[in-house]
Amino acid sequence: MCGIIGYTGYREVSAVLIDGLKKLEYRGYDSAGVALQGSEKLVVTKTAGSVDGLKEMLINLADSHLAGIGHTRWATHGRPTEVNAHPHSSCCEDIALIHNGIIENHSSLKKWLSEEAGHVFRSDTDTEVLAHLIEEYYENDLLLAVRKAAAKVKGSYALVVLSAKEPGRMVCARQDSPLIIGLGERENFVASDIPALLAYTKDTIILEDGEFASITKNDVQLYNQEGNIIHKDVFKITWDVESAEKGGYEHFMLKEIMEQPVAVRETLRQRLDMETGEVTLDELDFNQEELANLEKIYILACGTAYHAGLVGKFILEKLAGIPVEVDVASEFRYRDPIINKNQLAIVISQSGETADTLAALRLVKSKGVKVLAITNVVGSSVSREADQVLYTWAGLEIAVASTKAYLSQLAALYLLSLYFADKRSGLANNLAHELAAGLVALPGQLKLLLNDDNLQEIKRYCEKLAKWDRAFFVGRNLDFPVAMEGALKLKEISYIHAEAYAAGELKHGPLALIEEGVPVIAIATQKHILEKTLSNVQEVKARGGDVFMITKKAFAESFKKGEACFYLPDSAEILMPVLSAVVTQLIAYYTAVIRGSSVDKPRNLAKSVTVE
Ligand code: AGP
């Protein structure tokens, strides 16, 4: 949840670090710091504020540094204060390090280091233990000291370490927390995520769990746990610097909402024949017999990815006829679920680094269940630990509130359902053809949906909604998971307390919350239950609820003139969640902008939750 960066080379070190940290602030932004390495000593500068504040503090610092490390924090252990900010140093201040992750056995190590080895601790963090541990083992070989320290540690870490005695050298270690090395000419980089590197290089090496690296400006050496040199492929990033910037939009979130037609098209590309609607998923290799014997699918995920899974359940059951259970990963991993080999686990994760989802993945794998990952980040932990991966090609998603990744997860689940249906029973039924044809039209329909008139219409509704501190989303059947996602989006960026209910559930309690003017967003896109949903909406209106309908153009005659209705383009009903979700995203976005909240970096949240 923190952003880390390291650099050694010919450029102005502090400038590279600050630039990289700015691009990593979406990972955590409650405090920041850098350590700059001169020919003799390390200079550590930290602040309990933003990277901009840190930049101010570095202005007068002469720049004759050989290497440096920088960190932007999202506190887990120790409040966001200057002393708890990274980098953390050893007693003699000749070792400094930055860390992303959690050291689970930090208390016992701290006790040993302070009581038996005489180390003096400055902060309340788990991380500082590492600086003293490395100092304890240091005998003029930083790599060896880091390896020895890592062997003592339990937990997750992406680590970059400097020693004042080894000018120009950075040593890194990775366990359960992302770390990428960027390769350059007479310079090299290391960072927790791609945006920090893109301005300088597209050639990267992804460090895996248990691996170490020794980096100087002219050399990158990789080592395994045993300290043997290993070789790894260079991975070329296809994203450009621009995609890391806002592309002219006020917020990354709006840019990413507007990128959804492309994100869905790219995710369908080479997998859906836009002529015939035929689906080929070459990256998957499920055999007929395996799928025929499949008794059950578990979908495991968190947050928005979990909501995509709820839509996936409907589609997979309807098209492939396989029973699907969708679980919140943080609950699944401690629920002792009934697992056996005739099941498949689909884990969904935009970042591919969410700790609870990763743990759920490892749990089912340990019981011999095959795991298929749907993720957006190549080389992420989930992608490397799953048996098979279906990547969403949504591109880099920076805003904490997930939008284009969610829509591309839905697209991936539609493809997967057609693939399983075809493998299990052939695509005889009309629904499969309707879906395939609908998918072909989807990118174009999304583009249409995101036209200016629609944006203005939604913005007008949000002027009213923004005045409230609570709101409700209701829907039935396939509309209910979208109502849940809409409520999550509004909650996480506008801080309005929004709740989603299955419309049929209202009269069993939630209806008590409806009073004059309370905003209720009702989603009705499914013909076979339209009347049921509309009668629930009447119950709300009867208690003074102020209803905003999201429905299909085809259902217009069911509504009176003047009723607040947003009409979606007509598409296959099974595909409507993709279109209705976009409207709920825009409602959250414009309401948050009107309420002045920090849209891309909402309080208390982070883009990738790498601790449980
Ligand atoms: C969604 O807007 C949130 N950022 C959050 O709920 C997110 O979906 C959840 O943390 C899962 O993240 P993942 O898809 O990267 O695993």
305 Cα–ligand 1 center, Å: 6
Higher pLDDT, 563 or 60: 563
Q: Which of the residues 2, 172, 462, 565 is marked catalytic?
A: 2
Per mean pLDDT, which of 190-204, 374-388, 457-471 is the most reliable?
457-471
Q: Which token pair is 435?
A: 């879906």
Given a cut of 80, whether residue 119 has pLDDT beyond it is: yes
Q: What is the pLDDT of residue 194?
A: 84
Given a cut of 90, whether residue 503 has pLDDT beyond it is: yes
Q: What is the pLDDT of residue 216?
A: 97
What is the rounded distance in angstroms from the CA atom of residue 284 to the CA atom of residue 50?
A: 43
In terms of pTM, does the model score above 0.85? no
Nearest residue (by CA) to ligand 1, atom 10, is: 303
Given a cut of 90, whether residue 199 has pLDDT beyond it is: no
Q: Which token pair is 103?
A: 């050291």
Closest atom of ligand 1 to CA, residue 405: 14
Give 35-94 pLDDT, tens digit per residue.
999 888 899 999 998 899 999 999 877 667 899 999 998 777 788 889 999 999 999 999
Output phi, psi for 169, to 5 deg: -115, 135
Which stretches does DSSP call E strand in 248-335? 296-301, 324-328
What is the rounded distance in angstroms from the CA atom of residue 466 to the CA atom of residue 470?
A: 9
Helices in 115-187 by DSSP H: which ranges?
Answer: 128-137, 142-152
256 Cα–ligand 1 center, Å: 15
Q: Is 349 helix (H, G, I), strand (E, B) or coil?
A: strand
Q: What is the pLDDT of residue 242?
A: 64
* pLDDT category of residue 429 using cuts at 50, 70 and 90: low
Given a cut of 80, whether residue 26 has pLDDT beyond it is: no
395 Cα–ligand 1 center, Å: 15
DSSP string, 390-439: EE-------SSS--HHHHHHHHHHHHHHHHHHHHHH-S-SHHHHHHHHHH
Packing angle between helix 430-449 and helix 260-268, nearest 10 degrees?
A: 150
Regarding beta strands 170-175 and 155-163, do their DSSP bridges make them parallel or antiparallel, or are they unpaired?
A: antiparallel
Given a cut of 70, whether residue 255 has pLDDT beyond it is: yes
Q: Mean pLDDT check: name the lowest of 241-250, 381-390, 563-572.
A: 241-250
Q: Which of the residues 489, 552, 601, 607 is marked catalytic?
A: 607
What is the rounded distance in angstroms from the CA atom of residue 231 to the CA atom of residue 199?
A: 25
* Mean pLDDT in residue range 122-151: 95
* Mean pLDDT in residue range 433-460: 93
Higher pLDDT, 323 or 59: 323
Selection from 229, 254, 236 nearest residue 198 by Cα:
236
Q: Is residue 168 within 8 Å of residue 218, measured between CB atoms?
A: no
* Mean pLDDT in residue range 179-190: 96
Selection from 376, 451, 441 nearest residue 412 by Cα:
376
What is the rounded distance in angstroms from the CA atom of residue 202 to the CA atom of residue 213?
A: 19
Q: Is 2 an annotated catalytic residue?
A: yes
Closest atom of ligand 1 to CA, residue 382: 16
Instruction: Output the average pLDDT for the chain.
Output: 93
Q: What is the pLDDT of residue 178?
A: 87
Selection from 477, 504, 534, 441 nearest residue 318 by Cα:
477
Q: Is 345 helix (H, G, I), strand (E, B) or coil?
A: strand
Q: Is residue 222 within 8 Å of residue 39, measured between CB atoms?
A: no
Output phi, psi for 46, to 5 deg: -135, 160
Selection from 147, 131, 121 nearest residue 94 by Cα:
131
Output phi, psi for 383, to 5 deg: -65, -35
What is the rounded distance in angstroms from the CA atom of residue 51 to the CA atom of residue 21?
A: 7
Q: Which token pair is 450?
A: 């995101």
* Mean pLDDT in residue range 31-38: 94
What is the rounded distance in angstroms from the CA atom of residue 425 to the CA atom of residue 412?
A: 20
End-to-end Cα separation, the chain, in angstroms: 11
Q: Is 343 helix (H, G, I), strand (E, B) or coil?
A: strand
Q: What is the pLDDT of residue 238?
A: 76
Given a cut of 90, whether residue 2 has pLDDT beyond it is: no
Q: What is the pLDDT of residue 243?
A: 67
What is the rounded distance in angstroms from the CA atom of residue 58 to the CA atom of residue 52?
A: 10
Q: What single-letter amino acid sits at 332?
A: F
Closest atom of ligand 1 to CA, residue 409: 14
Q: How large a percentage of the chain has pLDDT more than 90?
A: 76
Q: What single-letter amino acid sits at 382?
A: V
Given a cut of 70, whether residue 589 has pLDDT beyond it is: yes
C-beta neighbour count of 538 within 10 angstroms: 10
* Mean pLDDT in residue range 342-370: 96
The set of protein residues with a Cβ atom below 6 angstroms from ligand 1 is 302-305, 349-351, 354, 357, 400-402, 492, 608-609
Given a cut of 80, whether residue 231 has pLDDT beyond it is: yes
Nearest residue (by CA) to ligand 1, atom 9, is: 303
Query: Ligand 1 test: best mutation among 350, 408, 488, 599, most atoms within 8 Å of CB?
Result: 350
Q: Is 554 helix (H, G, I), strand (E, B) or coil?
A: helix
Q: What is the pLDDT of residue 276?
A: 78
Given a cut of 80, whether residue 313 has pLDDT beyond it is: yes
Q: What is the pLDDT of residue 608?
A: 84
Taking CA atoms, 517 is separated from 1, 156, 490, in Å, by: 39, 48, 18
Q: What is the pLDDT of residue 104?
A: 85
302 Cα–ligand 1 center, Å: 6
Q: Mean pLDDT check: name the lowest of 34-38, 138-142, 422-426.
A: 422-426
Q: Mean pLDDT check: name the lowest of 150-159, 256-265, 406-415, 419-428.
A: 419-428
Query: Ligand 1 test: best mutation among 252, 300, 351, most atoms within 8 Å of CB?
Result: 351
Q: What is the pLDDT of residue 111?
A: 95
Q: Is residue 279 within 8 Å of residue 272, measured between CB atoms?
A: yes
Q: Mean pLDDT check: name the lowest of 242-251, 280-289, 503-512, 567-576.
A: 242-251
Q: Is residue 200 within 8 Å of residue 206, measured between CB atoms?
A: no
303 Cα–ligand 1 center, Å: 5
What is the rounded distance in angstroms from the CA atom of residue 486 to the CA atom of residue 466?
A: 15
* pLDDT category of residue 10 using cuts at 50, 70 and 90: very high
Given a cut of 80, whether residue 605 has pLDDT beyond it is: yes
Q: What is the pLDDT of residue 552?
A: 94
What is the rounded distance in angstroms from the CA atom of residue 420 to the CA atom of residue 321?
A: 9
Given a cut of 90, whether residue 378 has pLDDT beyond it is: no
Q: What is the pLDDT of residue 499?
A: 98
Give, as one character, the DSSP assignment of residue 74.
Answer: -
Q: Is residue 503 within 8 Å of residue 476, measured between CB atoms?
A: yes
Closest atom of ligand 1 to CA, residue 354: 16
Q: What is the pLDDT of residue 43?
A: 94
Given a cut of 70, whether residue 190 has pLDDT beyond it is: yes
